[in-house]
Amino acid sequence: MNKPLRRTVHLIEAGILVAAALIGMPAAATADPNYGTQSISYAGPNNPNQPPTADKPQSKLWFNDGSWWADMWTQGRGWTIYRLDRGSAAWIDTGVLIDTRNTTSADTLWDGTHLYIATHVVAPSSKENPVPSYSGQPAKLFRYSYANGNYTLDPGFPATISNNTTESLTIDEDSTGAIWATWTQVGSSATNYTTTVYVNYSAPGGSNWATPFVLPVSNPNPTPDDISAIVAFGSNKIGVMWSDQAAGAVWWAMHTDTTDPTAASSWNVRPAIQGKKQADDHLNIKTLLSDPSGKVYAAVKTSLNETTGQPDLPQELLLIFRPGTGSFTSSTIATTGDCVSRPQVLLDTQNNLVRVFHTAPSTSVTGCAFSGMAGSIYEKTASMDNPVFDAGRGTPVIQDGSSANINNVTTTKQPVNAATGVVVLATDHVTKRYWFSDRSLAPVVPVPVASFTATPDTGAAPLPVTFADTSAGQPTSWSWNFGDGATSTVQNPSHTYASAGSYLVTLTATNSSGSSASSGTITVNPPPPHQEVVVVASSVTSSSTAVGTVTVPAPAGLAAGDVLVASITTDLNPSMASVPVDWVPIVNALSINSSASGGARVFSYYHVVGAADPASYSWTLSLNTKWGAGITAYRGVDNTSPLDTGVVTAVNTTYSATSITVGSITTVTNGALLIGGLGFDAATPGATPPSGWTERWESTGGQIAELADVVQATAGASGTATWTFSSAKAVGVWRTALRPAS
């Protein structure tokens, strides 16, 4: 327990303004800002044992039918259901009275059909001042039905859960519809006090409760200062968690629904965490019933604040039970130097976040002499998948700038999302007022992290480069600076560098949360000398069904002035009814036993790329037939006279050839590129180009076409060239040369 906190409260209520000085605390500034909204007063007859938003494991809020609701104290009446009117930022009394006993506290549960509220008479206990539980003070379960904005108490309720006082009591519902409860009872004898963890359960729907029983595990006896909490998780499990400061442990016991609750064999117990000063009586536990893995999230407080001079020790921990491994992981929420206390967990499915709310000194206070001083409510968040919390107390969400006494934050058992928003409730024990925070929960959009790829990132001018955005974080706009004065706002642009140089390219990626930039270098080399013709790219396609059009995509990365060479092999005996604009024949209908019922024909063309060429090129055949085709783009070719020599061809129509040789050609320019194309009267590929040649492509269906090339450094006769095949074919082949630009 926070004994210094209780002392501080007492001093403040007595009007002793020197309390901060007495405990070594710097006094809070009087000009602290307000966070959240002040609400109704709970002054007058109310629980003398604790503020109305306590206790630590309990939930006072729930979300239903588009509204937030709360169990709040009404002066002169008792505990009442309130609805939050978001338009006026006010809690509205519905008039539904729950429990008139001012000594009770409650835990609420909305299961989508019924509202369950468990109330119990509070008897706070501590190690220094143990308070035995006493009988004749029943803990009650109220069940309400909901219709048309109204809650109605169901017949037969309230039902009795137990007959004893306790410091805290929580409830949850298992897969059969039974309601479970857990609490601790402090017993006494002449010489000592014994604390015991109890549980009980009802019939489905919350009626007909069994006899309360001790949790059937080996040591259900923590200190008088410890408490327990219960949660339904997975598809068929109940879990009980309790603190045990004597053992330095937080214990976890699991029970499978429909097994005997009173049998020790039905419960599996293990420490969630254990070690010197690893436990205190602060815990809050939540789960997502929609999570098939059944993870359970618990915020717990350690007693490491009792270790003086070490502000970096963990003060609050997030423990996550992972049924797949059967074990807990632990991460630090805040340290002893943050002076935090009374954590509450809220699971945000909208943003996949764990939200933790806790008490800490108000924003003007930078230090503390002990943990858990009342002041303000702060929020910290971490990813459910990787729960790493930032350092510090977090973000203030509730603070009374003129009364640094807010404490005991509470919220709902339910997960939250964009439809619900986030509502938390707390109290100021000096002014006797409720305060709350109500915030929308739009999806958190991270600032994008800019990145991109460039293909290619080096080459000779003119160099066309394709840029691809690979930014993380969902950018919605892009700004490119290509480093040569050109820009673009397209997500994936292309840009051609006309001159040699080193260009710094910068992408700025932006969304509603901000922007970031990434840079890279494009290296453009001088254009190659006239002796070099280079390959830009190729494209290849085929049709295994008879059609009347040959359409081939343009190769990637084209620039004006590139020369395209196409080779086409068709089945049967078609002619070209139409040719794409500005395509010039190299070979026009080289026949391989062509007839109306058999054979094949080989065609080839070249084309100089203009300023705005299409994305594909189409040839129209005189009849529907199968075909294979491809295009290779060459750079550095003389645009005026692309061919450096004439064309020679060869045909073998025996269907038994495994090679074919085509005659020599004579080039007139040094560095000319010898090119040749082949066609099979077959749908099965298998050509190997002449030795030293590079095959640029070979189609894989229809009728087989192929293209290959090799540089001839010195002008003159080339000699013959021989293609070989993987199996016997009927074949036609052609060859010529491309002239380098001067």
Domains plus CATH for the chain? 3-173+189-439 (2.130.10), 452-525 (2.60.40.10), 534-738 (no CATH)
CA–CA gap between residue 227 and residue 241 (Å, rounded): 9
Check pLDDT > 50 for residue 12: no
Beta strands in 11-77 (DSSP E): 37-41, 61-64, 67-74
DSSP class of 8: H
Tell me how far apart the alpha carbons of residues 422 and 310 are, in angstroms, rounded to a whole number: 34
Q: Give SS3 for 403.
A: coil
- Residue-level pLDDT at 48: 64
CA nearest to 608, candidates 588, 579, 631, 637: 637
**pLDDT value at residue 190:** 53
Residue 578: both structure tokens together: 């139409």
Backbone angles phi, psi at 471, to 5 degrees: -65, 145
Return the residue matching tokens 């000096």.
430
Question: What pLDDT shows up at residue 29?
Answer: 43
Residue 711 exposure: Cα atoms within 13 Å on the Cβ side: 14
Query: Which residue is it, tokens 């003070």?
Result: 137
CA-based nearest residue to 233, from 314, 308, 174: 174
- Digit-coded pLDDT (tens) for 79-103: 999 999 999 999 999 999 999 999 9
Question: How far is residue 719's CA from residue 712's CA, in Å, rounded to a whole number?
Answer: 11
Phi-psi region of 384 (alpha: psi -120 to 50; beta: other; left: phi over 0): alpha
CA distances from 305 to 1, 273, 334 (A): 12, 17, 11
Structure tokens at 223: 């200190």
Q: Is residue 372 very low, low, confident or very high in pLDDT (cuts 50, 70, 90)?
A: low
Q: 3-class DSSP state for residue 736?
A: strand
Among 132-136, 452-456, 693-697, 719-723, where is mean pLDDT lowest? 132-136
User: What's the pLDDT at 124?
Assistant: 82
What confidence tens digit (pLDDT) does each residue in 560-574 have? Answer: 999 999 999 999 999
Express each pLDDT in 66-83 by its tens digit.
Answer: 999 999 999 888 999 999
Q: Which helix (H) or strand (E) holds 576?
A: strand 576-578
Q: Is the pLDDT assigned to residue 619 strictly greater than 60? A: yes
Q: What is the mean pLDDT of residues 213-218?
A: 96
Residue 19 has pLDDT above 80, yes or no: no
User: Would you say residue 17 has pLDDT above 60?
Assistant: no
Q: Per-residue confidence at 45, pLDDT binned at 50, 70, 90?
A: low
pLDDT-above-70 percentage for the chain? 93
More confident residue, 206 or 368: 206
What would the pLDDT profile of 494-507 be if each residue is shown by its tens digit? 999 999 999 999 99
Query: pLDDT tens for residues 125-160?
Result: 777 788 889 999 999 999 999 999 999 999 999 999
> Would you say residue 6 has pLDDT above 80?
no
How are the residues of the chain apportioned to helix, strand and coil, as percentages rounded to the nearest 5? 5, 55, 45
| pLDDT tens for each residue of 675-710 | 999 999 999 999 999 999 999 999 999 999 999 999
> Phi and psi dihedrals of 337, rounded to 5?
-70, -15
Confidence of residue 9 (pLDDT cuts 50, 70, 90): very low
Among 622, 619, 570, smallest CA distance to 599 is for 570
| Residues 409-437: tens digit of each pLDDT | 999 999 999 999 999 999 999 999 999 99
Q: What is the DSSP letter of 740?
A: B
Backbone angles phi, psi at 191, to 5 degrees: -115, -20
Of 488, 478, 682, residue with least CA distance to 592: 682
**Rounded CA separation 478/469 (Å):** 9
Nearest Cα to 449, choosing from 518, 519, 499? 518
pLDDT interval class at 277 (50, 70, 90): very high
> What are 286-342's pLDDT values in tens digits?
998 777 788 999 999 999 988 777 889 999 999 999 998 999 999 999 999 999 999
Query: What is the pLDDT at residue 130?
Result: 84
Tokens of residue 10, six digits: 């007492």
CB atoms within 10 A of CB 431: 17
- Residues 141 and 202: their CA atoms lie apart, in Å, by 10
Give the H or E element holding residue 20: helix 19-22
Per the prediction, the chain carries an average pLDDT of 91
Buried b (16+ CB within 10 A) or exposed e, 27-60: ebeeebeebbebbbebeeebbebbbbbbbbbbbb
Q: Average the pLDDT over 195-223 and give the result.
A: 96
Is the confidence at residue 15, as pLDDT, over 70? Answer: no
- Asked if 359 contacts 369 with a C-beta cutoff of 8 angstroms, the reply is no
Amino acid 24: pLDDT: 36
pLDDT of residue 371: 54
